[in-house]
Every structure is written in structure tokens, then in C-alpha cells.
Chains A and B, each alone.
Chain A
Amino acid sequence: MTTIDPKSPAAEGAPADRYLEYSAIDTGYRAVRWHEKTLYEQSRPGSTNAILPAVEKGIVDAVGDVVAALPAAARRARPPEMPELSEPEILRHYIRCSQMTYGYDSGNSMGLGTCTMKYSPRINEQLAALPEVKALHPLQPEETIQGILEIMYGMRNWLCELAGMDEVTFQPRGGGHGAFTDACMIRAYHHARGEDFRDEIITCAVSHPCNPATASAAGFKVISLYPDEVTGELGIDALRAAISDRTAGIMMTAPYDTGVFDSQIAEYARLVHEAGGVVSLDQANFNGVMTRMRAGDLGADMVHFNLHKTFSTPHGSYGPGAGAVAVKKAFRDFLPVPVVEFDGSRYHLNSDLSNSIGKVGTFMGMVPNVVKAYAWVLAMGAEGLREASEWAVINNNYLIKKLLEVRGLDISWPNRRKLQEARFSLAKLHDETGVGTLDFNYRLADFGVQTYFESHVPRIVPEPVTPEPTESISKEDVDQFVAAFHHISAEAYSNPEIVLTAPHRSIVHREIHDYENLTQVPFTWRVWKRTHPDG
């Protein structure tokens, strides 16, 4: 790893990136780069903020020092060693941290494929922050939360329509949790039929890792099939070979993270059903196919969506998101509780499903995100949903067309048209210049453009690149992204050092992984302090 002199202009973020200045793709970007210390290093002992209400004298007089009355072993022995700062100093610190964060709103955010980065409308944030959402307790009597239940029920109806399914739960906290909920229902379904011997789940290596992972968490053995080299699909023969009387079901992503839509999916569903298994689809990648296909029509028994991807709820720096699972009638009884019901005049929470898997998380699920997703669908309408999907697909295919003109870059499964995203490869560039996808990505950060997602494992595609230009992305954004790729590729072929030492004007430089195990990496300040007594 090349080390950079801390006093060099490169280390300082450089007044300008001398490799970039005045090039056509110079966006003028200079990362905001505060030498911001941690709150601990800024701490001024003794600072306090009177945030909480004082305890009334009448209460103190009545109960006395309840803390001192605790048995010593149950009492905290020493105060926590937390930082002490005034309110304005704390706000300034977090403002600076936010300035050193690349949000979707910060710029050209099409890089993070499989993440469906789209605009999160602010009106939805405002609505979900109303006291009628924010100040509700999940255990309030039904008659006091009719409004929230109406929204949940409305969203349920819409998702049933979009999925071709019959019932929905909003219990899951995210996409992975949605897949887990599916796995639990599959387990319960076979158990109810006295077929506990069904202990294998089939999945595909280009399905999202949460599919095999959650099947495993639910206690299944997982059979992971590899996509066909030519078609990018699972293939009937491979599936037949994997199916046995131990098959509990199949859990797969559609379309795949590679952007390939598996054209034989209905046949897989038929085969799995024939063998007595259950079909679970992961449609976190729903964004390119809304109103164009429905999981239920393909033969899926259950499907999950990510409200924080397709349905616009913000990604929140990595959550909270929300998952929604939709199921066919035959699986309604297995759903986690409660489900929302409507009797024609009032809404109810039903926790009485005879085969229910019970709970997977707390309370009623991610209610504020359901409100946001509901507002989004309302703003779109069926026509808008169709339009959004079309744009996700047009933008992606336009990107593919343009990006393939970049020297050293190829696409996986070139004979297939891709829907919402595609997995590219910089293997050729790497072979010819020594510049790999990680180097390339670091250099991309210098342009003020969001970095890209490389790939999940297994990395079937070498030196992978997976962007995803959703409908919120403009043609100009795509053109700019492509121009940056051309520029970096040219650098790689003419002066690879530039790319290999990138970034040059981002917030910090590349991290170095020089630990033997994770105990050597400080994950809290208390550990940092112990291991770095000199700061």
C-alpha cells in the first residue's frame, strides 16, 4: 500500500486535484473536510444541559432517595465516562458530521446498486412526524388508532394488488427480516402438515445473501445453485437435480441482483410445488417491474418488498427500513401477528391466527414507514408506478449502452437485457492496468459522485461494478457518471498511479486493514483510549 506524506497537498485534500482540474468532468467538488474531533476529545468536564424536567419536591419528599436505597450490587458504582458538552457545541459537531456524509440528496446517487436509491419525498417525512403517528403508543385500544389502522389496511390492499396476493404483514424490520419471516412460515407450514422432514431450502447464488442466510437461521439446510454461464438463470435441470422429498421450498430473488429476470421462474414454482415445497420470492428488486408482473401470478406463495427501496422510505444511513410480506390465502394463517382487518366500518388488529408463527419483532411493525410508503403510492397512482418502473429500466439500459463504451469494462451475461440494474466487470481493466474495482471506486469519490456498490459474495463476476439508476435519476446524472468512468479509465491506461493512490480530494484516505483479529480494532472510544494513550 502506498503511503502518502501527511504534509503533502494530496493528504490535505489538496486545494485542487491537479489531475482533474479543468477536465470536462470536473464537477468542482471539494469534499467538506473538517478536522473534526470526537465528542470525547472536545469534552469539557462539568458541562451539563438541563433537558429533563425537574422532579417535583412533593415527589422527592414522598419517596426519598430511591437510588441510594438500592442494594449496592444493583447500583451503578461509577458514573459513565461520557463526553460533556454544551448544546450548541453538540449540534455543531453533528452538523459537521452530516456535511461529511453523502446522502441520496447530496448529489448523483446512482452508484449504489441493489439499494434502489430513490428520492424520499419530504412531505412523507412531515406526515409521519405528525403527533397522530409520532405520539401513538402501539398498545392503545383499537378505537383510538383507527386512522393508523386505516392506512395500514389501505397499504395492505395496494400491496396485495401489486403482488397478486391475499394478505400482508408489516412486521418485518427490513428485507432480510422479510426473508426470515418467509423462512419461519415455510417451517411452520410443513410442521402443520406433519412434514418436518422437509429441511432443505433451495436458492441461487445470485439471489441476495439474505435468502440463504435467513433459511439457515430458521434451521434449514441450504442448497445454493449457480446461475447458468450463458443465460444467468438457475435452469430447470439444475433445479430438478436439487429437488428431493426433503425440499421445504425455494427462496429466490426476482429479478436477480444482476438485473436478469429468470424467465423460467413459473416453471420452478410448478416443480417446487409438485415436490411439496413452498415458493418464496424476494422482490426487494421490485422497482423495475411494478405493474408489469405479479409474484402471485408466477406461482409464488409469498413475496417480500422493501419499503425503503421501492416504496421510497429513506434509507436512514442504514435503516430503519421496513419489509412487507405478502402471501397467498393458504399462508394467511401462518403470518406473524397482528394482521389488520376491516369489518366494513371499523379496523381491527387480529392476533388470533391458528397457525401463526407468532412474533418476529416487537409490536405492529414499522408503522411510520408504512405511512410514508402509503403517501408515496398515493402520489404515484398506478400510472405513476408504471412510469417509475419504466424509467428505472430505461435509465439502466441507457447506462449500459453508454458504459460499455468505456475501455476495460464489460458486462456480465451480455446476451441478456437487464431490468433495474446490471453487474459490470472491470476485470479487463485490471488485467491491463493493474487498477481494480476498489481503486476505481475510490477515484470515483473524487468527482463528488456517489461511489458504487461492487457486488455481494460470492463474487461470480470478477472486479464487479453494480450501479442502479432508479427513476429519480436524470439523463444528465447518467451522462455524468459515464463521463467519470471514461475519465478514470483513461487515467488507468495512461497514469494508473493516480487511480491507485485515490482518493485525492475526499474526506479521508483509504483505510488499511492491518489487524489480525477484530479485538485490535477499536469499536468504542473506551478501547481506543486504552490502546492509544497518546491520542
Chain B
Amino acid sequence: MSAGLVHRYIPNTAPGVREQMLAEIGVGSVDEIYEEIPAELRFAGRLDLQQEPRSEADVAREITAILGKNRTTDDLLSFLGAGCWPHYAPALVAEVMGRSEFLTAYGGIEVNDHGRFLAVFEYQSMMGDLLEMDVVAAAVYDGTTASGDAIHMASRITGRKELVLPRLMDPDRLSALLNYNGPWFTPVFVEFDPATGLMDLADLTAKLSDRTAAVYLENPTYLGTVETQAAEISRIAHAAGALLIAHVNPASLGVLAPPGQYDADIACGDGQPLGLPISCGGARLGVLACKNEVRFVHTLPMTMVGILPTTVPGERAYTWHALFDRIFYGEREAARSFSGTSSFLNAIGAGVYMALLGPSGMVDLGTANMQKAAYAARRIGGLQGVKAPVFAGPHFNEFVVDFSGTGKSAAEVNAALLERGILGGKDVTKEFPALGAAALYCVTENHTQSEIDRLVDAIGEVTR
């Protein structure tokens, strides 16, 4: 049988090749090979799919037309963040990530993928410098699964069954963690100080015991405040024999205390703000790091690129093969993880970003985010009936706005802003009813003063 179809992605569909190869195999048609699938299981129907292949031009036209129905944050002035942050993406990041070799490599070994491993090692190294942590994994899916991996590590290391978490957390992240870590842990929630949104330390102390495997903190918190008590939380956790897991935003670490500075045992976070586009939430980079002690490194369930010697003295091999078997490929039924293919390309991109900014650029990045968010919060908070920021104390690049005093709901404000070409902050009314008509606004280095002023004017207008 010959379908006679010549397809641009399939070199052997050129005429004559099929017959020649089938003859070599010794079968009359490929159907003979498919007899491996029992007849009653073979699909014989017609699929409700477009049948014929399409040309590249037709594919491009059709998809461009569909995508044209979207309204992008290039056209709408957006203040959405909440885990997917709109930062400036330098041209070099896309250039390097678009290099065919990086884009299409996968499972080569040290002798032919030296460059891919070197680039990932450098990502790990720069991330280690930012975090002040000695061991960094190559990449995990996203910040949430990185938190899950960190929690599993703590469970394995301590053998304890309780995990202490802040009450004030992204409910979506919490849901994912309960899926991932649920079978191994009882979550114990620490209440937050209603004035600051930070962990209530008295409650934290009360909830710690010899059952506590780890205290998990987020810095900045989900609602944007800087967890200024991290060092104190670390001390309290360690005094109870528990580990400290710090989930951080790498973009903040030029200015905020890195996890290593407050003696976190395991650090995690999402590297998307390091020059990766928002891409409808689909460009993620899970960051996972730990201290360089056997109990940590040997339970870290992800690939890591390390330096090993080679058969030539003085030569370095960058390789992911060091104790590969400790991850799920080797552990199989004893494993507690799932990430095989993860996010290396995004790690390489984040590496380019960190290299470009350098230490001073990371300080500038952190400073600009804090300044612009502070400016926006202050100006919005000056509007009649609008409270911003809802929490006292320093914020990184997000803050909560409460519209209760205007008689409008957060959803109403957002709908009215959209009519003015603005995407307001994430409506968190359902997530945290106690906060009132609340929305979470994100302002980064990439918002200009006039854009912020435009937002303030628009909020003023729609809440009047």
C-alpha cells in the first residue's frame, strides 16, 4: 500500500522510497506490521478531523486569524501579576533561546551537549549567587511544583508529618501542593497579622512541635508584602528542629534578603520574571536550591548539572549524570516526584538575563520594582474611598487595593477599566473575602510613570 502522500515534514514520502524499504523489511505493506495490534483493537473508522494536510501558508493564515481575536497586553495597559509578572524581556534572551541547537536538543551526553550543560550550569551558578545557596537544580516545571519538591525533600529528610504554611497563600498553589504533598503531610496554617499580611509569629510558635518537618514561607507574600520577619521565622523553625523552606521571587533578590542570608535550608520560586515572557502563563521556570549537605543534595529529586573530571587531566565535563538514579528514573516505585522533561530552555534564557543585568542590574531591577509599586500604591491610595496598599509595610511589586469605600466591587472596577483599555489587578475578593472589594495590582520596572498616572486617573473616574 502506498498512500502517495508527499509531506514536507516527512523526507521518505518522496516517490519510490516506501516500496524499497518495505521490500527490505520483507513485508508487502505496513499493515502487516500493524497486525501486532489485534484486529479488534485496530481503529477502522474515520476521524472527525480535517483530513488533508495544509500548506505552511494556510496554517499561518488560519492560526493568525484565530489569534487575532485576542487582545494583548501590548494593546491593553495591564496591571495583572499574581504569579505571572510582566517584566521587560531583553532581546538577547529570545535570541539565545531561539538558537536551533538549544531549542531542539534533548538527551545528548557530555561529549556532544557540552554547551547546553555549560549554559545550564551557569544558570544554576548565577541563581545560586542570587539566592546565596550552594546547590541549584537545573530546572523544575514552575514555582509551584518547585515548592512541592522542596516540601517532599523536607518530609524525606526529617521523617516528620506536619508542614507549617502561611494562611495567606495563592489558593491555586495551595491546591497543587495538596495534590502533590497531600498524602505525606498534614498542613498546619499560620494566621497572618491583619495589619501587615505577614506571619503571626506568636501563632507560628504555638503551631510548631516535634511533628513539624518544615516551615514554608513566601517572600514576597502572595499579596505582595515583604516578609520582613524571615530571619526570625528561620530562627524559630530551626529551634523546633524543623527545616526552613523559602519560596522567593528571584527578581527581588538584588534588594531583598536572599534565602541564604536567613539560613533557609531549601529555596524555591519561579524564574519567569527573569526575562521570560508572560505567554499566557506558559513560560515557567521552577527554581529549586538547597544547602550543600548530603541529606539535602541526595533528596533533591531533579536533574542538576555538575562539573566532573574527564579522562584528560584538567578538562571539565559539565554533566547531569552525577547520581542520576536518585531521581525518579532510578527510583521508580519509591519516588515522590514527576518531573522528567522540565524547563531547561527557560533556565538558559534566565541565565542570559542574569548575565546581562549583572549584580548592579539586579539591584536596579529590585529597586525600580519597589519604587514604582510604592508610587502606584501611594497614588491609588490617595483616591476617595480607595484603600491602597491594604497592608502596611514594604511591598515588592504587588499590593492589594480595596474599593469597598467606593461602593464598587473589584469586578465592577475591572469591567469599567477594561472599557478604558486597562486590565486592572487580579480580583481576589473570592479568595480573601475579609479583605473587602480587593484586587491585587502588579507594577514593575516596565510600567512608566505616565502609565501609572493613567491608571490612577482611570480608577478615580470609574469609582467616582
Contacts and interface: CB of A to CB of B under 8 A. Distances in A.
Contact of A381 (B40, B50, B307): B50
A148 B69 CA distance: 8
Interface stretch (B210-218, B342-350, B454-462): B342-350
A4 B120 contact: no
Interface residues of B, number: 219
B9 A472 contact: yes
A18 interface: no
Interface in B239-295: 253-258, 261-262, 270, 277-284, 292-294
A146 B253 CA distance: 36
Given A69-B394, A80-B130, A209-B328, A161 B92 contact: no
Contacts of B12: 391, 394-395, 471, 473-475
Contact of A11 (B90, B118, B312): B312
Contacts of A321: 341
A350 interface: no
Contacts, number: 748
A494 interface: no
Interface string B191-231: 00000000000000000000000000000000000111011
Given A56-B449, A391-B10, A397-B25, A308 B341 contact: yes
Interface string B123-155: 011111110111110110111110000001000
Interface stretch (B158-166, B357-365, B401-409): B357-365
A523 B53 contact: no
B99 A378 contact: no
A123 B9 CA distance: 12
A150 B142 CA distance: 25
Residue of A56, A134, A174, A260 with most partner-chain B CB within 10 A: A134
Nearest to A129: B94
B298 interface: yes
A509 interface: yes
Interface residues of A, number: 219
Contacts of B47: 161-162, 291, 382
A51 B43 contact: no
Contacts of A59: 371-372, 375, 449, 452
B279 A368 contact: yes
B70 A145 contact: yes
B296 to A, nearest CB: 9
Contacts of B143: 362
Interface string A198-241: 00000100000110111111110010100000000000000000
A80 B70 contact: no
B344 A509 contact: no
B41 A136 contact: no
A139 B84 contact: yes
Given A49-B361, A80-B253, A374 B309 contact: no
Contacts of A386: 3
A56 B316 CA distance: 46
A137 interface: yes
B310 to A, nearest CB: 4
B190 interface: no
Contact of B311 (A173, A364, A450, A512): A512
A66 B449 contact: no
Nearest to B183: A219
A460 interface: no
A112 to B, nearest CB: 5
B419 to A, nearest CB: 11
Contacts of B26: 401
B124 A524 contact: yes
Nearest to A199: B183
B109 interface: yes
A141 B359 CA distance: 37
B434 interface: no
Contacts of A28: none
A351 B120 CA distance: 36
B101 A102 contact: yes
B70 A362 contact: no
B410 interface: no
Given A79-B363, A363-B84, A55 B102 contact: no
Residue of A81, A146, A511 with most partner-chain B CB within 10 A: A511
B184 interface: yes
Contacts of A391: 10, 12-13
Contact of A361 (B27, B112, B141): B141
A397 to B, nearest CB: 5
Contacts of B142: 173, 361-362
Interface string A268-302: 00000000000000000000010111100110000
B122 A39 contact: yes
A495 interface: no
A145 B72 CA distance: 8
21 contacts: A52-B364, A79-B359, A81-B129, A100-B115, A102-B112, A103-B105, A138-B280, A144-B418, A145-B70, A210-B328, A217-B335, A315-B104, A317-B116, A318-B105, A320-B283, A363-B282, A379-B9, A393-B34, A401-B24, A451-B111, A511-B308
Given A70-B228, A74-B230, 11 more contacts: A63-B375, A90-B92, A90-B352, A316-B346, A319-B344, A360-B176, A363-B172, A364-B282, A391-B12, A512-B310, A528-B125
Q: Top 5 nearest A-B pairs by Cβ distance? A: A219-B183, A363-B281, A138-B281, A100-B115, A358-B175
